[in-house]
Amino acid sequence: MKGYYLVAIPLLSTLILGAPSLAEAPENSVVNDMRAINIQRLAVTNRCDYCDLVGVDLSNSHLIGADLRGAVLIGADLSWSNLEGADLTGADLTGADLTGAFLTNASLANADLDNVNFSQASLHVVDVAGAAMEYLNLAGATIEGTGISIGGSADPLEAPGDDGDGLPILTPEEQQQLSPPGNPWYIPGYPTDELLDIPQQIVPQV
């Protein structure tokens, strides 16, 4: 049994002496290494659900059908990426850059989309039910069959044209839903004493 302890003691001392080097490693380096591993995992398996991808560069990536449920993508660069059929249910995309991204039949349900840049992105039949959507940048975006609109309405927005009349970005205090007239027999074009409650920000300036 003495030989056993003589072997075990050097092994134990190695582990003890090696521990400080791990403890002294910069925290940021460890986190960055973990995120690099997560990127490799995503590239190999096309899934990285509930993993840390904060601030990573995934621009111009082919992420068709990727499983990114619950992933933390705060500040991530997903510009010009193909996210067709991707599942980002419950993902945190706060401040992410999705400029020019292509999303068709993708899920952003219950995702955090606050401050996301969707400029020039294509969103076709994207599920955004329950998603947080404040301060979105939708300049030049193409939106079809997707419930993204000013004031939280379920009706999809029409895509802005190329004439510079992009959709306004409203603060939460400014966001409101249009209030239709209370008269159920109201007919468009006929005089009425009731007026639509239209936010001043979206009234065309003559």
Look-up of token digits 């080097």: 21
The answer to whether the Cα torsion of 53, 54, 59, 63 is positive or negative is: positive
pLDDT single digits (tens) 168-198: 454 444 444 434 444 444 444 444 444 444 4
Q: Return the pLDDT at 195.
A: 43
Q: Are 53 and 31 in contact (CB under 8 A)?
A: no
Rounded Cα distance between 133 and 19, Å, is 44
The answer to whether the Cα torsion of 78, 79, 81, 84 is positive or negative is: positive
Q: Are 24 and 41 in contact (CB under 8 A)?
A: no
Rounded Cα distance between 39 and 52, Å, is 9
- Map out the domains of the chain as residue ranges: 48-174
CA 77 to chain centre: 10
pLDDT single digits (tens) 123-155: 999 999 999 999 999 999 999 999 986 444 334
pLDDT single digits (tens) 42-71: 999 999 999 999 999 999 999 999 999 999
Q: Quick one: CATH architecture of 48-174? A: 3 Solenoid (2.160)
How many CA atoms, within 13 angstroms, populate the side-chain half-sphere of residue 21? 5
Rounded Cα distance between 81 and 86, Å, is 11
The structure's pTM equals 0.62
The answer to whether the Cα torsion of 84, 69, 149, 60 is positive or negative is: negative
- E strand or H helix that includes residue 8: helix 2-24
